[in-house]
């Protein structure tokens, strides 16, 4: 009887929260794509032109490396309100593809009070254990198909891009048993979603993203929706190559002799 009451309450919690957050996740993705979809306007339709034409211009803020720090929220966990704090490193291969080599997330959890509700009347249920998410480590392949510009109050131009990502990872849980004992569980996960990046300047950017995370636990798969915002610091390891005029270089050599 106790187990039936717990399962009934857990099922109600999943159905109530999952639908709304799936809709928010889908809406975020559609809005991000729609905002950046204006970039292709102005594409040259002259098929006789062989030279590659950029709809806006080549990406002026391209850097090879990016370190990002972000804060997020996972609202559909059954027993906790989860606030992930994450740090990650991304290597930008070119203007379209990137590899987020690693993203480590630590979960700060706030009790929803559902545990006390189960244990108190009228349920009087004592679950065998409560499972709490503790950390997550992922690696993602990133595709950046949309790039554009927006005028802010007709005074400042802001460059931005939309990106899609997917990749595997590991989710770490802590099991707290009713006997007072505890244990850990590390499981495989899949993470995918969409993001929107605003370039504040050549080195700093603002990242807003949503992702769907599926963790394959031993007894039950867990599906969570994540919303987050953060900042990224972008840089190159080597100085940019400078094009030199051979004539000026030769003249400088003559003058120096």
Domain that holds residue 164: 2-42+59-237
Distance between CA 257 and CA 28 in Å, rounded?
A: 64
Whether 251 has a pLDDT exceeding 80, the answer reads no
Residue in the block written with tokens 């048993």: 177
Whether 15 has a pLDDT exceeding 70, the answer reads no
Q: Which residue has better confidence, 162 or 60?
A: 162
**CATH number, domain at 120?**
2.40.160.20
Mean pLDDT of 30-56: 52
Distance between CA 215 and CA 171 in Å, rounded?
A: 7
Are 218 and 185 spatial neighbours (Cβ–Cβ below 8 Å)?
A: yes
Model confidence over 197-248: pLDDT tens digits? Answer: 999 998 999 999 999 999 998 878 899 999 999 999 999 986 555 556 677 7
Beta strands in the chain (DSSP E): 65-74, 80-92, 97-111, 129-152, 156-177, 182-199, 204-216, 221-235
The residues with which 170 forms a beta bridge, in sequence order, are 137, 188
Model confidence over 165-193: pLDDT tens digits? Answer: 999 999 999 988 877 788 999 999 999 99
Whether 152 maps to a domain, the answer reads yes
- C-alpha to C-alpha distances, 40 to 34, 61, 68, 113, nearest whole angstrom: 12, 18, 28, 50
Whether 38 maps to a domain, the answer reads yes
Whether 252 maps to a domain, the answer reads no
Whether 207 maps to a domain, the answer reads yes
Mean pLDDT of 88-117: 90
- Mean of the per-residue pLDDT values for the chain? 80
Q: Which residue has better confidence, 1 or 198?
A: 198
Distance between CA 103 and CA 136 in Å, rounded?
A: 8
Whether 256 maps to a domain, the answer reads no
Whether 91 has a pLDDT exceeding 60, the answer reads yes
Q: Could you give the count of Cα atoms lying within 13 Å of 171 in the half-sphere of its Cβ?
A: 24
Mean pLDDT of 72-77: 89
Mean pLDDT of 69-94: 93
Distance between CA 221 and CA 201 in Å, rounded?
A: 41
Whether 247 maps to a domain, the answer reads no
Find the range with the poorest average confidence among 108-117, 155-164, 195-204: 108-117
Whether 143 maps to a domain, the answer reads yes
- The kind and range of the H/E element at 249 are helix 246-256
DSSP class of 50: -
Three-state SS at 75: coil
Q: Which residue has better confidence, 157 or 124?
A: 157
Q: Binning pLDDT at 50, 70 and 90, where does residue 144 land?
A: very high
pLDDT value at residue 99: 97
Q: Which residue has better confidence, 153 or 231?
A: 231
DSSP track, 166-209: EEEEEEEEEEEETTS-EEEEEEEEEEEEEEEEEE-SSSEEEEEE
Distance between CA 76 and CA 137 in Å, rounded?
A: 19
Mean pLDDT of 9-28: 55
Structural domain tally of the chain?
Answer: 1
Whether 50 maps to a domain, the answer reads no
């Amino acid at each position: 009887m106790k187990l039936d009451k717990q399962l009934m309450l857990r099922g109600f919690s999943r159905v109530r929260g999952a639908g709304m957050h799936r809709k928010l996740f889908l809406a975020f993705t559609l809005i991000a794509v729609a905002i950046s979809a204006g970039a292709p306007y102005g594409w040259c339709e002259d098929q006789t032109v062989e030279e590659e034409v950029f709809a806006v211009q080549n990406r002026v803020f391209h850097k090879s490396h990016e370190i990002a720090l972000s804060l997020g929220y996972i609202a559909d966990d059954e027993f906790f309100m989860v606030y992930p704090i994450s740090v990650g490193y991304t290597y930008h291969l070119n203007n379209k593809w990137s590899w987020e080599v690693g993203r480590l997330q630590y979960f700060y959890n706030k009790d929803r009070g559902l545990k006390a509700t189960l244990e108190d009347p009228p349920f009087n249920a004592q679950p065998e254990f409560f499972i709490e998410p503790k950390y997550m480590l992922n690696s993602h392949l990133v595709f950046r198909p949309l790039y554009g510009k927006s005028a802010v109050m007709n005074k400042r131009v802001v460059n931005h891009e939309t990106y899609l990502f997917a990749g595997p990872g590991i989710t770490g849980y802590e099991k707290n048993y009713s006997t007072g004992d505890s244990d850990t569980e590390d499981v495989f996960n899949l993470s995918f979603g969409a993001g929107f990046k605003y370039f504040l300047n050549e080195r700093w950017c603002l990242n807003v993203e949503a992702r769907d995370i599926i963790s394959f636990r031993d007894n039950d798969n867990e599906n969570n929706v994540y919303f987050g915002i953060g900042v990224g610091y972008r840089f190159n390891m080597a100085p940019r190559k400078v094009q030199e005029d051979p004539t000026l270089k030769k003249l400088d050599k003559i003058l120096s002799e």
